[in-house]
Structure 1
Amino acid sequence: MYNLVIYLYVLGVAVASLFDKKIKKMWRGGHEAFRVLEEKVDSGAQYVWFHAASLGEFEQGRPIMERLRREHPEKKILLTFFSPSGYEVRKNYDRADIICYLPLDTPLNARRFLKLVQPCMAFFIKYEFWWNYLELLSKRGIPTYSVSSIFRPNQIFFRWYGHHYRRVLKCFTKFFVQNETSRTLLATLGITDVAVTGDTRFDRVLAIKAQAKELPIVDAFKQGHKVFVAGSSWQPDEDIFIRFFNTHKDWKLIIAPHVIGEDHLMQILSGLERKAVRYTQTTPEEARDADCLIIDCFGLLSSIYRYGEISYVGGGFGVGIHNVLEAAVWGVPVIFGPNNRRFQEAQELLASGGGIEIGSYDDFCGVMERLMSDAPYLEKCSREAGSYVEGKSGATDAILADVTF
């Protein structure tokens, strides 16, 4: 049944690639992966294979890859992606020896891929369960680990009709899961080689903080002012905080939108009633006199959060919030929208007091008025946000202490 679904999926992707640029990149990338591997694989080397669906999963696997590179330079690293949003951003990542797409999970692709690579070990990050690849890895006795995975009762493995598909879980050598609930759920299926190690993203954001970029333009923009930083924002988010800051002129505003396209940037600028400049089109002198700074490029947000007294992470009025840890690590309160239930770190940040949920413009006004007027409350929320992240570090150490390279 699984392979029938996969073949139907392959057919669907092939057709969709004719009309969608993103799907076309994935389709072509999967086919080109074999050429890349044939050209680059060193038959005399030992490859440790990391597979990440997209950019978020890459960030979870990155601390392990970088430790492996430092401590076992004799090993080579193969990094594969499923989504163009991961591959296109990290295709030049210098800690991996080979980076390519992972061809779709057909039996033929799996056999051809593993014959070319012959990995000595494999790490699948978070939600990645590719049946044919995993089954072959298991049959060949190749240690295979699930890292930073998290399980919920509504997943197919724990449904009455998921009996057949849950067999894929038996292919893993060990699970390194984020919480005790995941370990308990796996135990109901007879899977006990499980360690609760937490989420490697906490280690990653702490490393990012330690390596934060110097940003003269943002330094000049802040110049002692109180700043609100909105990261990964979408239009529903922007409709709320732009309206608020148009009338609260004693604070400055930094906006780093999720979509950096000219149409969206112009939409943001048209909604602002205060002096705004774009990061790539300004100077420190001009930024100093501006009220709003629009970040119109990638790669800066994790360093920018440190300039804020209060932060906002977007996506909560759409498909789901983005990375709250990048903001919280700097010890600033994190505000976000209501679609956050599926994100354990958001739920825990709320419980700690370092995160605050809003559901409307009125909610936002109430939260902001209190944070802006009640200094002890702002200080408490800030402290709880930073302490939450610090207290969750160590997953990378725990995982690597349990893996023999």
Structure 2
Amino acid sequence: MLHKIYNFAWHIAPPIIKHYLRKRAQKNPEYSNHWGERFGEPHPNPVQRAIWLHAVSVGETRAAQPLITQLKQHFPNAPILLTQMTPTGRATAQTLFPEAQCRYLPYDNPQWVQQFIREHRPIFGVLMETEIWANLIQECKRENVPLFLANARLSEKSQQGYQKIQSFIAPALGKLSGCYAQTAEDAARLQTIGAVPPVVCGNTKYDIAIPEQSIELATQFREKIGKRRVFLAASLREKNGVDEAELILRAWQYFRQPEDLLILVPRHPERFQAACDLVQQFDLTIQKRSDNQAVQPETAVWVGDSMGEMWAYYQVADVVFVGGSLVDTGCQNIIEPMTCGKPVLFGQSVYNFQAACDGALRFGAAKQIADVNELLQTVRQWLDNPEDYAAITTQARQFVAQHQGASARIAQQIIDKLKAS
């Protein structure tokens, strides 16, 4: 009965989805492009017999990069098909994998996903993290396309939600060819909602190396900034009217020194202009990355209104705060700044990176703060006394190194399954 209701919802959903996309396009015009792909329209030149990976947005797409590198060693002549759900994810895929065919995955209408699978006929598919689409999984099973859930994670909150519809979701999860979890806790939660027996392989995000092109860009950034001390507030989020950028700016005006520079980078491009407006409200001198000018000595805030350059921002920072953790959105990726050997701070909401945050704290590789006042007090202390965070930067690199290898383990698991089938 739940499956019938689910399919009926997809039958009547297109007008609602289109209204949603139009609203998103008001802030991010890219949402108005490539609509046909989302609604099952055939691709004019579909790549076939490809390695197919689905990664919903930017973070998942980056996490797929080392896994694709490993899989290509086993399938050197196979093309790559990458699907996303967001414009930023699609843009990231096109940048990281210029040789791949990139497109949006159709919504989970039975006819749309059937069209997608039959026109591409991938060798196998990999869903990154927690992308569970019942009709897509069913169609792959029907068409004998092995489908794997990789880098899989499931928070307690999501587990509780899925358990309410377990009679619907469990049959789909049971049709997967393999499930590769980040942690033992993720594996246990996934098994409670019906996943095929998960194998703990770790998190591929630890395998992401600092991109070569970002090193040169970081050098350019440092030339623009000069010798100023840099506090980077990265991937800032907003929820229920509470904006992390506003919280930080409100406190920063009291904690900053003239030689300090705050780099403010919102998580989503539609928040770029809002961040600039906030800086001006606090009467702080502002420049924007998009202006591509040298940062003036009197500039208090440099707004990072650019996509795909976060690695460069990390490399020029002295201290990094990772957003999505002062508001209840579960934290953004703390692994990348630790890979760069930076002292990392984050707030109390960490359910999206629970294992990484808990592990980093135990290892002495990062610090958790209670609120924005403690955040800025710590930033002030560290900027004035770099020796206070020297041990954390050493521990950060060691922590990342100890957790690498998940991509190779997942790839081998997939190869073994394909050989056995």
Q: Which residue of 2 aligns with 1:181?
A: 185
Query: Mapping of 1:238-249 within 5 angstroms?
Result: 238-247=245-254, 248-249=256-257
Per-residue displacement from partner, 1:324-381 (whole Å, max 9, x unpaired)? 2222211122122322234222333333333323343332243234434554431122
1:391 is the counterpart of 2:402? yes
| One-letter amino acid of the structure 1 residue matched with residue 127 of structure 2 | F
Per-residue displacement from partner, 1:373-402 (whole Å, max 9, x unpaired)? 554431122222222222211111111222
TM-score (norm 2): 0.82
8 Å contact kept, 1:221–1:288: no
**Using the alignment, how far apart are the partners of 1:27 and 1:219 within structure 2?**
37
**Using the alignment, how far apart are the partners of 1:336 and 1:124 within structure 2?**
28
Q: Which residue of 1 aligns with 2:324?
A: 315
Q: Which residue of 2 aligns with 1:40?
A: 45
Query: Secondary structure in 1 aligned to 2:320?
Result: strand
**Using the alignment, how far apart are the partners of 2:308 and 2:228 within structure 1?**
24
Q: Which residue of 1 aligns with 2:273?
A: 262
| One-letter amino acid of the structure 1 residue matched with residue 308 of structure 2 | G
Which of 167, 182, 188 in structure 1 is aligned with 2:171?
167
Q: Which residue of 2 aligns with 1:5?
A: 6
8 Å contact kept, 2:319–2:383: no
8 Å contact kept, 1:335–1:358: yes
| One-letter amino acid of the structure 2 residue matched with residue 377 of structure 1 | D
Per-residue displacement from partner, 1:223-265 (whole Å, max 9, x unpaired)? 3332211112247333343344434314332222334433431
Q: Which residue of 2 aligns with 1:229?
A: 232
* CA positional deviation for 1:119: 1.6
**Using the alignment, how far apart are the partners of 1:246 and 1:160 within structure 2?**
46
Q: Which residue of 2 aligns with 1:134?
A: 137
Higher alpha-carbon deviation: 214-223 or 104-113: 214-223
**Using the alignment, how far apart are the partners of 2:198 and 2:149 within structure 1?**
10
**Using the alignment, how far apart are the partners of 2:220 and 2:213 within structure 1?**
20
Which of 306, 309, 317 in structure 2 is aligned with 1:297?
306
| One-letter amino acid of the structure 2 residue matched with residue 393 of structure 1 | Q
Query: Secondary structure in 1 aligned to 2:90?
Result: helix
Q: 1:380 to 1:3 in 2, by over 3 A?
A: farther
1:331 is the counterpart of 2:341? yes
| One-letter amino acid of the structure 1 residue matched with residue 342 of structure 2 | V
TM-score (norm 1): 0.85
**Using the alignment, how far apart are the partners of 1:135 and 1:80 within structure 2?**
18
**Using the alignment, how far apart are the partners of 1:220 and 1:363 within structure 2?**
31
Q: 1:41 to 1:278 in 2, by over 3 A?
A: closer
* CA positional deviation for 1:75: 0.6
1:381 is the counterpart of 2:392? yes
Query: Mapping of 1:20-99 within 5 angstroms?
Result: 20-21=21-22, 22=24, 25=32, 28-31=35-38, 34-36=41-43, 39-41=44-46, 45-69=48-72, 72-91=75-94, 94-99=97-102
Q: What is the total number of aligned residue pairs between the two structures? A: 398
Q: 1:244 to 1:264 in 2, by over 3 A?
A: closer
Over the matched positions of the two proteins, sequence identity in percent amounts to 17
Q: 1:197 to 1:221 in 2, by over 3 A?
A: same
* CA positional deviation for 1:305: 0.9
RMSD over aligned CA atoms reads 3.1
